[in-house]
């Protein structure tokens, strides 16, 4: 098989979907799943309590802090971080198995976690999801009504700082209200374009 022919064989990509709280990362991934896009969606492990309508093993792996500590000690996570007093992390084995199957792998991670993945896998594709402005972000966070006033204030302050980290990413996509499918289409276009690169990304973990 020639080198030229090898270039035509798409290599699996590691796609990181990130952005501040309130921009709709979970909703975007849910729509991607509903549309049955051909990606492997990595499930994050977290110690935070399960919210109504969330499903263990589908939305997150909900684990105790003791179990999470064991996963850290045994080096089972690609990255992990404390996010609003709870731990979140990405299991290594899940990602490796998905990439070995030849599928593109999509991970939903907070902003600091995305930057950690960049250090471990420089060829990962980092997509920053955001909203039109800070006022819109604050409105969405307030309307969720899932935190106390103190927790909400912390999320808003953190989100504002995270908006400044967009330069660390490859792409930025604005997730406008009532235009969810446009957001998903933009992400699909990014991934399609990446597969057309003459010099493809080579991801290893």
Edge-first strand listing for the sheet containing 39-41: 39-41, 104-108, 14-18, 125-130, 171-174
- Active-site position among 35, 51, 70, 176: 51
Look up 197 and say whether it is catalytic: no
Residue 48 among the catalytic residues: no
144 has catalytic annotation: yes
Q: Which of 35, 139, 144, 176 is catalytic?
A: 144
Task: Write out the catalytic residue numbers.
Answer: 51, 144, 155
């Amino acid at each position: 098989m020639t080198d030229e022919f090898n270039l035509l064989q798409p290599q699996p990509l590691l796609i990181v979907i990130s952005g501040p709280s309130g921009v709709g990362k979970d909703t975007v991934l849910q729509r991607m799943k509903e549309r049955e896009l051909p990606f492997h969606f990595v499930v994050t492990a977290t110690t935070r309590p399960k919210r109504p309508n969330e499903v263990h093993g589908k939305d997150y792996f909900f684990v105790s802090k003791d179990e999470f500590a064991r996963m850290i000690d045994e080096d089972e996570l690609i990255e992990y971080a404390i996010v609003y007093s709870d731990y979140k992390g990405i299991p290594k084995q899940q990602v490796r198995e998905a990439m070995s199957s030849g599928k593109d792998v999509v991970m939903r991670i907070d902003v600091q976690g995305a930057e950690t993945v960049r250090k471990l896998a420089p060829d990962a594709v980092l997509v920053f999801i955001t909203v039109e402005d800070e006022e819109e972000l604050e409105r969405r966070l307030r309307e969720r009504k899932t935190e106390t006033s103190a927790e909400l204030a912390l999320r808003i302050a953190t989100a504002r700082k995270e908006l400044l980290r967009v330069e660390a990413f490859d792409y930025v996509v604005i997730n406008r209200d009532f235009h969810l499918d446009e957001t998903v289409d933009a992400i699909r276009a990014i991934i399609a374009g990446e597969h057309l690169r003459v010099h493809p990304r080579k991801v290893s973990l």
